[in-house]
């Protein structure tokens, strides 16, 4: 069974604003092929103030689709249309204390229903501009369509390149076989063959771009490191820094960056900057970093943005 | 039978996924964790007794399968290993044959392997099914040729319970000179099997589907069938499957096989009666619902019910809250893109395929539980339909697919 948050369960078992709004003047009907889910959002908008006075949903879908719909209606009620349009799918996921990576598209569906309803209110025609595919990389929630498009647009040839451009494969690496499959298929379209990197080649996922973007410090051999750092805490922080260092090139490729702010027990606070902060993928990025850290440190840690840091630790 | 699950309030109707280990099986296994810890390959008395225990288990499995010789039983780690071993063995033993025949509704243990083999240059013929999940034997006959290395067809489908005529299909393969394998993971223990008098060359079974523990399976290999092991390296299982035996689980599987023989009649009368009552009770109370699969020819314990206009995962979550465990063919429970390939293959419409729930019973269920499920399910369905855009007050909206036609991403 999915690892749903208490908040998701709450909104699924006892959804808010279920049903169609009686005197609605805006309707948005959208569906997500990934799950066969579909959602109808009805709004009652005050024509003078453009405030959403009432919102209701009808959903054909799984637990998280219903919870996302319920959360969406709660978030947008009382907002003006323009304010509501600022709501991202990440906001919906955050409102629910997060969604499993496979279920993020449920929150995307919520956002799209909102856009469709607003378009309907304004007498515009809403067209969906993105396509979803099967999930390839679970660490960073990257789907097949995105991987395929990125390979085509940038003439990518290796798994490492795919990781650098999309982050897919940069976590636990168990999806590399799948990425090779997509590469083989796309390259074959132009009569090319996929050639895997030689075993022992120096190229590592997520670090190839380093030479172009910023020089990566030479990794200290683990044995030497242990001699240099005898203190356990220092060693742990050193390891954390090394993981952050290894994901940095991929983030910089997306015009963003990450830095370590504080380590409080098993919670690691980081600061996301540039395009990464507020980026819809921020939570995914953190999830991916967390996965790497768990593997590297051999313990469970939680990675949170510094905005969630308690005041006592120097947070806002 | 008595209710033995952890919480006596909870009702377990997901036995096609896995079963409770029978307490008698557990009792039989216990000594092999403690005093009987020897390696059956060892010469000393520690090992010797363990060797006898495995021999006994092999006999018990032989009887359940109606196999001619006990040496036809090869212990493996699971049903999936048995499937992979069988198919890959057939290909390696007959390198000149590059085709495989299977069906569109196989378990992923077979389908995913076949799809992988396609990328390696093999041709895979997947037989289609009709709206009741039945195969077309004429289509099958046309595909059989001396290019085919192996036919792999499941004995009974895990989702709909539909039974395939594998004995007849094995005869047809035999006439065409083609090797025949069946994934009988769902059938063993529920249906009588007589391999000695069949033309089935290989059969896979899994312990945890018949009240034995997880992590043990069997590959039946008819004497004289050309074979190439998957795991080489040891003399265990007569050199056909290397690796020190999972003794306790093998002993458990032997006992489970013996118990399955004993309960076979009960399974096909009492369990079947509970299944029938469950299906009839739910369908009588819930509109716009129907049973899927070949209703007159399916496993006695399985009922697959499609609830239109709602989604399976949501149903399961609410059922779980009510203390009822079942499973669904919806995409959402597996994280895959499409709803169940079995439901899609039967041409069940999208809005119903997503809402299929599989109830699979066992000898540990009772009629009281069945009545409770019949009572609990209708309000759950009603609650979710109230949320569904395809549903109005008391029934589906008119022309559901037209009045609600969302823009799909």
Report the percent of chain B where pLDDT is more than 70.
95
Specify the pLDDT at position B406: 77
Which residues in chain A touch residue B335, judged by CB atoms under 8 angstroms apart?
102, 135
Restricting to B residues 187-206, those with a Cβ less than 8 Å away from any Cβ of A are none
Indicate whether B231 and B275 sit together in one domain.
no
Give how many domains chain B has, as a whole number.
Answer: 2
ipTM reported for the complex, 2 dp: 0.84
- Cβ atoms of residues A209 and A263 within 8 Å: no
Phi, psi (5° rounding) for residue A19? 100, 170
- Cβ atoms of residues B308 and B355 within 8 Å: yes
Q: Where is the domain boundary, B237, B260, B283?
A: B260
Residues B339, B344, B346, B348: is their CA dihedral positive or negative? positive
Indicate whether B32 and B112 sit together in one domain.
yes
User: What ranges do the domains of chain A cover?
Assistant: 6-121, 133-202, 206-316
The SS3 call for residue A172 is coil
Cβ separation of B389 and A39 shorter than 8 Å? yes
Strand A267-274 versus strand A302-305 pairing type = parallel
Which residues in chain B touch residue A14, judged by CB atoms under 8 angstroms apart?
none
Which residues in chain B touch residue A40, judged by CB atoms under 8 angstroms apart?
389, 404, 406
**CA atoms lying within 13 Å on the CB side of residue A307:** 8
Q: How far is B312 from chain A (nearest CA, A)?
A: 7
Indicate whether B147 and B278 sit together in one domain.
no
| pLDDT tens column, B248-307 | 999 999 999 999 999 999 999 999 999 999 999 999 999 999 999 999 999 999 999 999
Cβ separation of B389 and A112 shorter than 8 Å? no
Indicate whether B196 and B274 sit together in one domain.
no
B314 close contact with A: CB closer than 8 A: yes
Size (chain B), residues: 409
The pTM for the full model equals: 0.81
Indicate whether B232 and B269 sit together in one domain.
no
Mean pLDDT of B325-350: 79
B351 close contact with A: CB closer than 8 A: yes
Q: In CATH, which of 3.40.50.170, 3.40.50.1820, 3.90.1010.10, 1.20.140.10 is domain A6-121?
A: 3.90.1010.10
Specify the pLDDT at position A33: 57
Q: Which residues of B are catalytic?
A: 332
Indicate whether B152 and B185 sit together in one domain.
yes
Mean pLDDT of B227-232: 97
Indicate whether B331 and B358 sit together in one domain.
yes
Indicate whether B215 and B300 sit together in one domain.
no
- Cβ atoms of residues A32 and B409 within 8 Å: yes
- CATH placement of domain A133-202: 1.10.10.1100
User: What does the alpha-carbon distance between residue A266 and residue A260 come to, in Å, rounded to a whole number?
Assistant: 14
The SS3 call for residue B175 is helix
Class in CATH terms, A206-316: alpha beta
User: What does the alpha-carbon distance between residue A136 and residue A176 come to, in Å, rounded to a whole number?
Assistant: 9
Cβ separation of A60 and B332 shorter than 8 Å? no
Interface test with A, best of B313, B322, B381 (most A CBs within 10 A): B313
The reply to whether B6 falls in a domain is: no
| pLDDT tens column, B369-380 | 999 999 999 999
Q: How far lies A136's CA from each of A146, A209, A224, A277, B408, in Å?
A: 10, 22, 37, 24, 21
Question: pLDDT 10s per residue in chain A (316 long)?
Answer: 568 999 999 999 999 999 999 999 999 998 865 567 889 999 999 999 999 999 999 999 989 999 999 999 999 999 999 999 999 888 999 999 998 877 888 888 899 999 999 999 999 888 776 667 788 888 888 889 889 999 998 899 999 999 888 889 988 889 999 999 999 999 999 899 999 888 866 544 443 333 333 444 445 455 444 444 445 777 888 888 888 888 888 788 777 888 888 888 778 888 887 765 655 567 667 878 888 888 788 777 888 888 877 776 655 4
- Cβ atoms of residues A75 and A46 within 8 Å: no
Task: Quote the domain boundaries for residue B245.
Answer: 23-260
User: What does the alpha-carbon distance between residue B99 and residue A259 come to, in Å, rounded to a whole number?
Assistant: 55
A130: nearest CB among B119, B317, B409: B409
- When pLDDT is cut at 50, 70 and 90, the band that residue B403 belongs to is confident
Indicate whether B80 and B58 sit together in one domain.
yes
C-alpha torsion angle, residues B194, B200, B204, B206 (rounded to 10): -10
Q: Which residues pair with B322 in a beta bridge?
A: none
Is residue B323 scored above 80 in pLDDT?
yes
Indicate whether B256 and B268 sit together in one domain.
no
User: What CATH number should be reported for the domain holding residue B339?
Assistant: 3.90.1150.10
């Amino acid at each position: 069974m999915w690892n749903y948050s208490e908040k998701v369960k709450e909104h699924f078992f006892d959804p808010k604003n279920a049903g169609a709004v009686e005197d609605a003047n805006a309707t948005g009907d959208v569906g997500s092929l990934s799950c066969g889910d579909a959602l109808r959002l009805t709004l009652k908008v005050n024509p003078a103030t453009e405030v959403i006075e009432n919102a209701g949903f009808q959903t054909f879908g799984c637990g998280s689709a219903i919870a996302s719909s319920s959360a969406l209606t709660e978030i947008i009620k009382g907002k003006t249309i323009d304010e509501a349009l600022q709501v991202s799918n990440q906001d919906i996921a955050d409102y629910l204390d997060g969604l499993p990576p496979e279920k993020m598209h449920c929150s995307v569906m919520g956002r799209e229903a909102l856009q469709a309803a607003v378009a309907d209110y304004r007498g515009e025609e809403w067209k969906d501009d993105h396509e979803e595919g099967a999930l390839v990389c679970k660490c960073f929630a990257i789907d097949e369509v995105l991987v395929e498009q990125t390979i085509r647009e940038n003439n990518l040839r290796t798994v490492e390149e795919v990781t650098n451009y999309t982050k897919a494969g940069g976590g636990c690496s168990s999806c590399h076989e799948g990425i090779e499959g997509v590469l083989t298929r796309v390259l074959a379209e132009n009569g090319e063959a996929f050639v895997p990197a030689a075993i022992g080649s120096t190229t590592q996922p997520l670090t190839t771009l380093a030479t172009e973007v910023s020089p990566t410090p030479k990794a200290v051999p683990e044995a030497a490191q242990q001699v240099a750092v005898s203190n356990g805490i220092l060693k742990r922080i050193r390891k954390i820094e090394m993981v952050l260092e290894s994901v940095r090139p991929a983030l910089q490729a997306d015009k963003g960056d990450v830095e370590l702010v504080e380590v409080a027990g098993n919670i690691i606070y980081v600061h996301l900057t540039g395009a990464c902060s507020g980026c819809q993928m921020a939570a995914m990025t953190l999830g991916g970093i967390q996965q790497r850290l768990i593997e590297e440190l051999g313990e469970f840690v939680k990675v949170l943005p510094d905005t969630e840091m308690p005041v006592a630790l120097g947070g806002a | 039978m008595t209710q033995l699950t952890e919480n006596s309030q909870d009702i377990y109707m997901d036995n096609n996924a896995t079963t409770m280990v029978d307490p008698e099986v557990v009792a039989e296994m216990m000594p092999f964790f403690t005093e009987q810890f020897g390696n059956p390959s060892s010469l000393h008395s520690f090992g010797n007794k363990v060797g006898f225990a495995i021999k006994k288990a092999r006999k018990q499995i032989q009887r359940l399968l109606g196999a001619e010789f006990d040496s036809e039983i090869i212990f493996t780690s699971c049903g999936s290993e048995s499937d992979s071993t069988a198919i890959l063995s057939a290909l390696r033993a007959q390198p000149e044959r590059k085709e495989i025949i299977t069906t569109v509704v196989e378990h992923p243990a077979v389908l995913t392997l076949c799809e992988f083999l396609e990328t390696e240059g093999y041709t895979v013929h997947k037989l289609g099914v009709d709206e009741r999940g039945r195969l077309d034997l004429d289509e099958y006959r046309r595909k059989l040729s001396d290019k085919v290395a192996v036919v792999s067809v499941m004995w009974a489908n895990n989702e709909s319970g539909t039974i395939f005529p594998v004995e007849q299909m094995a005869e047809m393969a035999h006439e065409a000179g083609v090797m025949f394998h069946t994934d009988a993971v769902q059938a063993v223990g529920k249906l009588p099997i007589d391999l000695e008098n069949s033309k089935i060359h290989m059969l896979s079974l899994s312990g945890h589907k018949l009240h034995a523990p997880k992590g043990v399976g069997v590959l039946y290999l008819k004497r004289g069938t050309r074979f190439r092991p998957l795991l080489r390296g040891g003399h265990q299982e007569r050199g056909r499957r290397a690796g020190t035996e999972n003794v306790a689980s093998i002993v458990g599987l032997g006992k489970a096989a013996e118990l399955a023989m004993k309960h076979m009649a009960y399974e096909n009368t009492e369990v079947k009666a509970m299944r029938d009552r469950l299906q009839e009770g739910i369908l009588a109370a819930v509109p716009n619902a129907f049973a899927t699969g070949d209703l007159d020819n399916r496993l006695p314990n399985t009922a697959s019910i499609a609830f239109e206009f709602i989604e399976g995962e949501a149903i399961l979550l609410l059922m779980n809250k009510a203390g009822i465990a079942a499973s669904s063919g919806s995409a959402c429970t597996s994280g895959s893109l499409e709803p169940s390939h079995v439901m899609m293959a039967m041409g069940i419409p999208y809005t119903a395929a997503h809402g299929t729930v599989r109830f699979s019973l066992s000898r540990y269920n009772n009629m009281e539980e069945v009545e409770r499920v019949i009572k609990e399910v209708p309000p759950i369905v009603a609650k979710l339909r109230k949320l569904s855009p395809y549903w109005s007050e008391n029934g589906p909206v008119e022309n559901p697919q037209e009045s609600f036609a969302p823009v799909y991403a």
